[in-house]
Amino acid sequence: MENDNTKVSVTLGYTLNLGNFQSLRLDLGIVDSKRDGENIDEAFGRVYKFVEDKLTEKIKKQNLKSQING
């Protein structure tokens, strides 16, 4: 029996050391529904990749800001 209401949740975080005993915590999470034709592992992989890519993008932006404001 397949549950069409299956949800997948992924939350990832990263603590960025800003120096001088300061840090910035970035957390990003999403809850999404399993799509037609996906199994749970495929849905998890899709959602995980999305969250990982977005968090990496934000980390890179923050690192660039930190270097500019240095």
> Which helix (H) or strand (E) element contains residue 14?
strand 7-19
What is residue 15's three-state secondary structure? strand
Which backbone phi and psi does 64 adopt, to 5 degrees?
A: -65, -45
Which pLDDT score, from 0 to 100, does residue 67 have? Answer: 67
Residue owning tokens 């990263």: 14
- Given a cut of 50, whether residue 1 has pLDDT beyond it is no
Q: Could you read off the pLDDT of 21-30 as tens digits, one per residue? A: 988 899 999 9
Q: Does residue 43 have a pLDDT over 80? A: yes
Q: CB–CB of 26/59 below 8 Å? A: yes
Spatial separation of the C-alpha atoms in residues 34 and 4, rounded to whole Å: 7
Least-confidence region, from 23-27, 47-51, 66-70:
66-70
